Amino acid sequence: MLFSSYTFLFQFLPATVLAFAAARRHSPRAGILVLAAASLIFYGAWRPIYLLLLIASVAVNFSLALGMEDPLRRRAIGMFGVAFNLLLLCYFKYAGFFLDTISSVSGVPLPYTSLVLPLGISFFTFQQIAYLVDIMRGARVERDIVSYTLFVCFFPHLIAGPLVHHAEMIPQFKQAHTGRSGMLAARGLAIFAAGLFKKVIIADTLAQFASPIFAHVDEGGIVTTSWAWLATLAYTMQIYFDFSGYCDMAIGLALSFGIRLPVNFRSPYQALSIVEFWRCWHITLSRFLRDYLYIPLGGNRFGNRRRYSNLILTMLLGGLWHGAGWNFLIWGGLHGIYLSINHLWGSWRYEEKYRSRRNSRFGLIQTWLSWAVTFFAVATSWVFFRAQTLSGAWKMLTGLFGFGPEGTAYESQGILRLMDLPILVGSSWLLLIGSGMVAVAISVALFSPNVSQIFGYREYRRPADPDCFVQWRPNGAWAVFTALALSVSLLGMWQRLEFLYFQF
Amino acid sequence: MLLILRSDVQGRATRWVAFTFAITGAVWLGLFAAVLTVANYIHVDVPSALAIKLPLLQSHPDLIFAGESRTEYQIDPELAAKLTGRKAGQAVNIAYDAGEPLAFLGAIRQQGESFADAHLVISVAPFLFNEGVRSAAVYPLNVVARLSVFEQLTSFLPFRIGTLIRFIRETFKARLAFEQGVAKGEVHSAAYGLSIIRTGEPRDRWPSNLGTHAHYANWDLSGPKAQYEIGALCEMARLVRKLTVVIPPWAPHYDRNSDELWRKKDDEYAAAMVNAGRRCGFDVLNIQGVSGLGDDNYADEMHVIASGIPIYTSYVVARLRP
C-alpha cells in the first residue's frame, strides 16, 4: 500500500485515525495497540506471506532481548541475534548476488531461485540489530511486546525509513500526547501534504527524463551529452524529492498520531563538502553506519590510514545495504573515497575551517567552487546507483563527457508526460522542457528551506531547527497552500509510481 | 489559564485542519473540472486501442469486423476471408475491448474511403446501451465526451470517479495517437487483428446467472448511452456499403428459459437493435446459441478460447447476407 495511493489515503488512513482516536480516549496503551495492529495490516496488504516473516523477525528479536537480561548470557545471545538478522537479510537480499558472482567467476552454474525481496527488510533488520547491540552495550531491555512491535513495525517508517532508534521511539509510545494532539495533527497534515507534493508532482514528473534514458543505456545503447546530463541531473533530483518526500510523509503521518520520527534530510544538495552532504542526506542511515559500523571498526582513533580504510569499508557496506549489485558497491566505494579525500583535504588545506560553511573567510568563489565540486561528485556517482548494469553506467558516464563507444544513440519520442498524461511536443522541445524542469527542481533544492525548517519540526528530545524566513502557521494562507499541494497531488496520484527506496 | 490557552490553540488547530480539508475539496473539484474541460476540448473519437488497428485497412478490405471483445477474440478474419472466397487481408478484425459504435463512426469519418465499399460487421453488448452500467472499464468514452463538464461531474462523482479518470487518460492517449498518425502508420496487429484468449477461468468463477450480471445491472435503455450509440449505428449505416449488427451469444451454460430476468432484459435490448435496424437500414444478427460451441470452448461466461474461434467465425460468416 503506497502512501500516495487512494486506498491508503481514503480507506486505510481514515480508518486508522478514527480507530486510534477512539482507542486513545480509553488509554494510551490502547492507542499504541491500534497502531501496532494497523501497521501489521498495512504490511500484510502487500504480500500476506511476508507478514509472517516480519512477525517472526519481531518475535525472535524480542525473545532474544529478553534472554539478554541475564548478564552472563547477554553477549552470546546478542551475537547470535545479530548473526540471525544478518543471515535473514543475506538470504533474501544477497544470496542471489553471491551465487551469481561465484557462478560467473567459476563458470559452474549454481541452482538458485530468485526471491521477492520483502518490503522494508533492510530497515526493520537494521533497527533490530541496533537494538540488540545497544542491549549488549548495557541499554534497557523492553519488556512490552506491543511497544517493541510498534517500534519495529510502525507503518509510517516500516517500508522505507527513516531508520529509527529504539531509544527515540519506545519512550514516546508510553507518553500521553493528547494535550497537543490537534496542533500536532495540523502540523502533521501540512508536512504530509508537502511530502506528497514532492513525491507525486516533482519526483514522478522528473522520472520521465531519467528512466527511459537509463533503460536505453542498460540495453546497450548510447546517449548524447545533452540527454546524458538531463538524465543524470533528473535522477539526482528525482531520488532526492522521492525519498525526502517519502520521509516527509512518514514524519507527517507519525506526527498525526503524536509521534516524532527523526529527520532524514536537511537540504543535502546545499552541502559544500561530501562530509556535510552525508550529514544531511539519509541522516538516519549515516547515523546507523557511524554508530554501529564506523566507530566499532575503530573510527578515527587509530591514525589517518586506518580512518580512511574504515571510511571506505563503511561506505562500501552502506552501498551494499542499498542493494545486491556491483553498481551499489561502486557507488558506496566512490563515496568512501570522496569522504577520505574530503578529510585529507580538510586536514591539509583548511584544517577545521571547511566545516564552518558560510564562514566570513570562506569567500563567495570558494563557496561556489566547493558546492560545484560536491554537487558534481554526488550527481555523477548517482549514475552507478541508478544504472542497472555496469556497462550502462559506463555508457552514461562516457555520454556525460561527450566520448564513448559506438552504439545506437537514444532517440526520444518527444512525448511529455504531465501527471502521466502524454502530450506530443517533439524531441528538442522535450529536452528543453526537461532541462527547465530540472533547473526548477535544482533551484528549489538549493534555495528553499527544508521541510523541518519551514514547519518548525522538532525531533524527539531535540530542539527545533532555527526559524527561517518562511514559517508554517495554522492560518488561512497556509491552509490554501496545503490545500493546493494536496489537491494537485491527489490529481497526479493516478500514475502510481512506487517510491524508489521501496526496492532497498 | 494555561489549560484555557492550550484548548484555544487546540481548537484553532482543529478548525485549521477542517478548513484545509474543505478547501482541498473545493480546489480539487475546480482542478478536476479544468482537466475535464481540457480533455473534452482535445477529445478525438478514435481511441488509441482502435487507432493501432486501423492500419489494417491499408489492404483495402471489403469485409470489416468491428465491435467489442466478442469480435476481437472470436472472429478470425483469415478464416472469414477463406470461407467467403476472398484473399487474405480482404477481411480484417478491428474490434477492441469494450469497443463502442461511436468510436467506429469516428474511424469511418477519419478514413471514409476505406469503409465506403465495405461490409461492416459490428458486434454490440448490453453494457454499451444500458445506462445502469457505469463502471470505468466499460463505460463508452465517447458518450462521456458528449456530456458537458457539469453533467460529467454530476453523473459520475463521487463513486464513479474512475470512469472520469479513465476518460481523461484515454482521451490524452487518443489525442497522442491521432497526432502521431498511428491510424495511418505501420501495421502492428498480427493475424489481421484477431487476438486469442489463452487461458480460461475455472467454471466455478463464472457468474451463477445472467439476470443479475453486471452488464444488465440497473437496467435502463433510456439514457445517453443508448441515444448516442444507436444514433452512431444509424449514421454508420449511411456511410458503409452494408452494416450488420451482431448480438453475440453467451456460453451455453446459461439457459434463457430458466432465467426470466435475463430473458426480459435481453429481449428488450435485442428489440431495440432490431427496431433501429429497421429504421436505419441495417441487418441485426441476434445469435442466441451456436451449434457445436459448448462450455468447453469458453474462457468465461462470454468469450471463447482458441478452439471456439473457427466454430463461431464459420457460424457468423455463414449468416451474413451479401
Give the separation between CA A164 and CA A387, rounded to whole angstroms: 29
DSSP string, B207-230: -S-STT-GGGTT---SSHHHHHHH
Q: Is residue A366 part of a domain?
A: no
Q: Chain B 177-196, CB below 8 Å of chain A: which residues?
A: 179-180
Q: Is residue A379 part of a domain?
A: no
Which of B16, B21, B42, B166 is the best substitution to test chain A (most A C-beta atoms within 10 A)?
Answer: B16
Residue at A296: amino acid letter: P
| Residue A250 vs residues A21, A30, A496: alpha-carbon distances, Å | 19, 22, 18
Give the pLDDT confidence score for residue A496 in this predicted structure.
65
Q: Is residue A376 part of a domain?
A: no
Q: Of the ranges A159-173, A192-206, B231-245, which one carries the lowest mean pLDDT score?
A: A159-173
Nearest CA in chain A to B180: A424
pLDDT above 60 for A141: yes
In chain A, the number of structural domains is: 1
Confidence category of residue A179, pLDDT binned at 50, 70, 90: very low
Give the pLDDT confidence score for residue A16 in this predicted structure.
95
* B7 near A CB under 8 A: no
Buried b (16+ CB within 10 A) or exposed e, A159-193: bbbbbbbbebbbebbeeebeeebbbbbbbbbbbbb
pLDDT above 50 for A178: no
The three grid cell numbers given for residue A449, joined into one nine-digit string: 528551506
Residues forming a β-bridge with A417: A422
Q: Is residue A152 part of a domain?
A: yes
Give the separation between CA A400 and CA A213, rounded to whole angstroms: 12
Tell me if residue A322 is catalytic. yes
- Element at B67 (helix H, strand E): none
Do the beta carbons of residue B39 and residue A499 sit within 8 Å? no
Give the pLDDT confidence score for residue A107 in this predicted structure.
76
Residues of chain A in Cβ contact (below 8 Å) with chain B: 179-183, 185-186, 189-190, 415, 420-424, 474-476, 478-480, 482-484, 486-488, 490-491, 494
Q: Is residue A446 part of a domain?
A: no
Which of B14, B27, B166, B170 is the best substitution to test chain A (most A C-beta atoms within 10 A)?
Answer: B27
The model scores a pTM over 0.95: no
Give the separation between CA A251 and CA A465, rounded to whole angstroms: 15
Confidence category of residue A300, pLDDT binned at 50, 70, 90: confident
Q: Is residue A27 part of a domain?
A: yes
The three grid cell numbers given for residue B223, joined into one nine-digit string: 439514457
The three grid cell numbers given for residue B130, joined into one nine-digit string: 444500458
In sequence order, which ranges of A290-420 are alpha helices (DSSP H)? Answer: 295-297, 303-322, 326-345, 364-386, 390-400
Give the pLDDT confidence score for residue A395 in this predicted structure.
93
For A71-111, the pLDDT digits (tens) are 888 999 999 999 999 998 888 888 877 777 787 777 777 66
Residue A64: other Cβ atoms inside 10 A? 21
Residues forming a β-bridge with A452: none
Phi, psi of A267, rounded to the nearest 5 degrees: 45, 60
In sequence order, which ranges of A154-282 are alpha helices (DSSP H)? Answer: 155-158, 166-173, 181-197, 204-218, 225-256, 274-280
Contacts of B172 in chain A (CB under 8 A): 421-423
Give the pLDDT confidence score for residue B8 in this predicted structure.
74
Q: Is residue A214 part of a domain?
A: no
Of the candidates B10, B23, B32, the beta carbon closest to that of A182 is on B10
SS3 content of chain A, % helix, strand, coil (to 5): 70, 0, 25
Closest CA to B72 of B106, B122, B130, B114: B122
Quick check: A494 and B13 CB within 8 A? no
The three grid cell numbers given for residue B68, joined into one nine-digit string: 467489442
From the CA atom positions of chain B, what is the Rg in Å?
23
Chain CA centroid to CA A381, Å: 16
End-to-end CA distance of chain A: give it in Å, rounded. Answer: 16
Quick check: A189 and B17 CB within 8 A? yes
CA angle (A306 as vertex; A302, A312 as ends), nearest 5: 140
Which residues does A266 contact at the CB level (< 8 Å), separation at least 6?
A279, A280, A283, A450, A452, A465
CA atoms within 13 A on the CB side of B321: 8
The three grid cell numbers given for residue B142, joined into one nine-digit string: 465517447
Q: Of the ranges A46-50, A315-319, B82-86, which one carries the lowest mean pLDDT score?
A: A46-50
Instruction: Give B130→chain A minimum CA distance, Å.
Output: 27
For A358-397, the pLDDT digits (tens) are 555 558 888 899 999 999 999 999 999 999 999 999 999 9
What is the count of residue pairs from A and B with beta carbons less than 8 Å apart? Answer: 75
Give the separation between CA B248 and CA B302, rounded to whole angstroms: 9
Give the pLDDT confidence score for residue A498 in this predicted structure.
65
Contacts of B23 in chain A (CB under 8 A): 479-480, 483
Give the separation between CA A178 and CA B14, rounded to whole angstroms: 13
Which residues does A465 contact at the CB level (< 8 Å), separation at least 6?
A266, A450, A452, A453, A456, A457, A458
* B35 near A CB under 8 A: yes
- Element at B60 (helix H, strand E): none
Q: Is residue A346 part of a domain?
A: no
Quick check: B16 and A424 CB within 8 A? no
Which one from A282, A322, A335, A343 is the annotated catalytic residue?
A322
For B27-65, the pLDDT digits (tens) are 999 999 999 999 999 999 999 999 999 999 999 999 999
For A468-488, the pLDDT digits (tens) are 888 898 899 999 999 999 999
Which of B17, B168, B175 is the best substitution to test chain A (most A C-beta atoms within 10 A)?
Answer: B17
The boundaries of the domain holding residue A48 are 6-180
Nearest CA in chain A to B2: A179
DSSP state of A140: P
Residue at A232: amino acid letter: T
* B161 near A CB under 8 A: no
Of the candidates B23, B32, B169, the beta carbon closest to that of A421 is on B169
Nearest CA in chain B to A181: B10
| Residue B243 vs residues A142, B126, B208, B235: alpha-carbon distances, Å | 77, 19, 34, 10
Of the candidates A182, A420, A422, the beta carbon closest to that of B13 is on A182
Give the pLDDT confidence score for residue B6 in this predicted structure.
57
Quick check: A490 and B173 CB within 8 A? no
Give the pLDDT confidence score for residue B10 in this predicted structure.
77
Low-confidence ranges of chain B (pLDDT < 50): 1-3
